Chain A
Amino acid sequence: MPLTGLQVFKLLPNTNCRECGYPTCLAFAMKLAAGKESLDKCPYASPEACAALGAASAPPIRGVTVGRGPRAITVGEETVFFRHEKTFVRRPGLFRVLGTAADRDALLDAWRALRIERAGEVFQVDGVAIPESPGSPDAAAAASERGFPVALLAATPEGATAMAERIKDQRPLLVPPAGADLGAYASLAARLGVPLVVSGADLNALATAAMDATRAGVTDILLEPPGADLRGLHHSLSAIRRGALDRIHPGLGHPVFLRIAAGEFEKAVVGITKFASLLTIEDHGGETWLPLWTLRQNIYTDPQKPLQMQPGVYSIGEPDATSPLLITTNFSLTYFIVSTEVEATGLACHLAVVDAEGLSVLTAWSAGKFSGDRVAKSLRAMQATERVSHRIAIIPGYVSVISGELEDALGDGWRVLVGPQEASDLAPFFRDVWGAGDKPPNLP
């Protein structure tokens, strides 16, 4: 917990020597407590003062990096309980559990190639979890060679050693069996300098295990929370986060590790929403992964920033020069709704996404970011006007007022057609106003 000015003041020599640049030690203490000054400026600070201030300014949850190279992943470093208080910062790593399949290398190659772009983020398999088996050191090496961060799901200290030694320079995450005696695993993690997962039957045992691992020389620790069912797990997850933020026990200030067995989709949902930082997931299919990736994207989006699309002309279906040209803002939510609705109509369209600083249509218009001039300039810049031969631009119904201004600004025979207010009414709009086929309408 951060120290108050008075607490800091008690750690200073109270000589008012002014060498720090402040008239009194108290004034300097106030600046220190606010994080606006560094203790380096006090030449007489005691080692105790340095230690106390250092501990107080350390993040409540440590960062832990797994893997090396471009795909290495850092988790932890969270500072809030609710995302709206600031934001969640480190997206949890979703690791895929590799079984003992015969086609191991082909599978790993496919996982490495997997890339799904969604709303400005690339979804990929963040790492590979290898359960201990006779072939697991080879499997760990194969995953590591492909650049994946690796979690080693050990069953025995000997197996853990064989796997970890094989890729010890790649910062694998060592995961002992839940509830196992920590001793041998902690020595191994300390000796190789790799991160370690600790567990405990209850929160007290968990926090104690983390302290024991630290004493054994392990620097990077993840906590595997207790919980016999989803309710128990949720309790642990909430208590660990709250305890870490309130700094009630130093053993709680680490990121959380969670195993998701086959079919445990709801557990993964709770993990992603409630503070888990690294999850190993047994299911491989897109029907599991796509919603989880998307949920993580939603929860870890910075609530202080509107989600924005890259401005530009997006093709829905395979539009040609006779297809409708629709205009909307670059607020991602707006884009998603409009593009989904357009797709549902079955009519191919050009969708021009105009830079409105990530605001929705009405908000953007009220803020002057969606005026006729601005939209026209943007359409020309993205060469939207060259995509079609018909010279008709369709604007959202909420901003019908800009139609005259936009026609003037576009000039050159362009006409503006006012679309529906809600994207869900695009189908009747296309049917009744645009015309039944793909042909431009006969306008009055």
Chain B
Amino acid sequence: MSLELKPKKWAGAIREVTLGAGSRRPVTVGGGNGLPLHTFEASFPHRPAFALEITDIAPPRWIDTVRQPWNGVLGQPAAAARRAVDEFGADLLMLHLVGTHPDRGNRSPEDAAADIRAVLDSVRVPLIVKGPGAGPKQNDVLARVAEECQGEGLALHSACQEEYKTLAAVAVAYGHVLVAESPIDMNIAKQLNILLADASMDLRRTLIDPLTGGLGYGLEYTYSVMERIRLAALGGDAMLNSPMICLVGEEAWKAKEVKASGGVHWEVATAFALIEAGAEVLVLRHPESLARLRKQVDCWFGGDTCR
């Protein structure tokens, strides 16, 4: 009996989304027409992209293992950006404006805009900007940043079901990408994309953040909801076929286990499992995780056999 495996064909494909414009070297993700990493039966014009996370102030909650590679530049976004790109080889950066949070320094939207400008002046990779989180400050900060960086194709992180109108408007007006965040819930992810489309967002400019659970802290929920979103997208659902972004670093390094055992393994396991589930943009904290994941992904999509 001989063995015949038919390649699986799907009706839909993942949308292509380009991050970065203007003075940025753009990075495009998405476009795959099969299950994640199924390079044996589907085509993938772009490989997953890796961002490193930098912060506007010295990050209050990072443990020593993940601070160490950033010694001397923590809380200095421009210097950290250069290190992330020139030394560590990040495709993208995520600047987390943690210091704009009312409980963590309450820095102003103007301060945030100045930080972003400094980062844009020091590197040419596309930039993801994460605001302080829910609440009125989120919109104030991200709207100001969007205006300041008109035409640079930033990815604004993030809009949610309850609060998306302001950010959709500024993303459209100033030419940015919007990250649509849903709480590990496929229906809300879809609903939010419908709302954004109604608000004149071009869905070629949105990413889905399905909300990341780190290894041991809900990874399985994120993993399965992403698999389901991917299946729906491949089945032809045009409201769920945005590429997905996962904030891996901030979740993986929260685990209490990373203090006792090697944290890089923890971050790599979280990230790799999520790539298998369909993540296309992965935001990491440790450059060693980036290097290890990069090696695997380059092999995977590079064509040659490698070890």
Which A residues have a C-beta under 8 Å from some C-beta of B?
Answer: 82-84, 118-119, 203-204, 207, 211, 228-232, 234-235, 238-239, 242-243, 248-252, 265-266, 269-270, 273-274, 285-288, 290-292, 294-295, 297-299, 301, 303, 333, 336-337, 339-340, 343-344, 425, 428
B residues in contact with A333, CB < 8 Å:
213, 217-218, 221
Q: Which of B248-285 contact A (CB under 8 A)?
A: 254-257, 260-262, 265-266, 268-269, 272-273, 276
Contact present for B223 and A298 (CB under 8 Å): yes
A243/B5 contact (C-beta < 8 A), A229-B307, A294-B216, A340-B254 known: yes
Residue of B nearest to A82 (CB): B227
Contact present for A291 and B215 (CB under 8 Å): yes
CB distance from A70 to the nearest CB of B (A): 26
**Docked CA distance A243–B1 (Å):** 13
Contact present for A336 and B217 (CB under 8 Å): yes
Which B residues have a C-beta under 8 Å from some C-beta of A?
Answer: 1-5, 8, 35, 37-40, 61, 103, 213, 215-221, 223-224, 227-228, 231, 254-257, 260-262, 265-266, 268-269, 272-273, 276, 292, 296, 299-300, 305-307
Contact present for A297 and B216 (CB under 8 Å): yes
Contact of A84 among B2, B224, B266, B292 (CB under 8 A): B224
A343/B265 contact (C-beta < 8 A), A83-B220, A234-B37, A298-B215 known: no
Interface centre among A207, A294, A303 (most CB of B within 10 A): A294
Contact of B224 among A243, A251, A270, A303 (CB under 8 A): A303
CB distance from A305 to the nearest CB of B (A): 12
CB distance from A405 to the nearest CB of B (A): 27
Contact present for B3 and A207 (CB under 8 Å): yes
Residue of A nearest to B299 (CB): A229
A229/B103 contact (C-beta < 8 A), A273-B276, A298-B219, A299-B223 known: no
A118/B3 contact (C-beta < 8 A), A229-B306, A230-B299, A231-B300 known: no
Contact present for B305 and A84 (CB under 8 Å): no
Contact present for B296 and A340 (CB under 8 Å): no
B residues in contact with A118, CB < 8 Å:
216
Contact present for B39 and A231 (CB under 8 Å): yes
Contact present for A243 and B272 (CB under 8 Å): no
Contact of B305 among A83, A229, A248 (CB under 8 A): A229
Contact present for A286 and B260 (CB under 8 Å): yes
In addition to A251-B1, A286-B261, 19 A-B residue pairs with Cβ atoms within 8 Å of each other are A84-B227, A84-B228, A204-B2, A229-B305, A234-B37, A235-B39, A243-B5, A249-B1, A269-B273, A273-B223, A290-B261, A295-B219, A299-B273, A303-B220, A333-B217, A333-B218, A339-B256, A340-B254, A344-B61
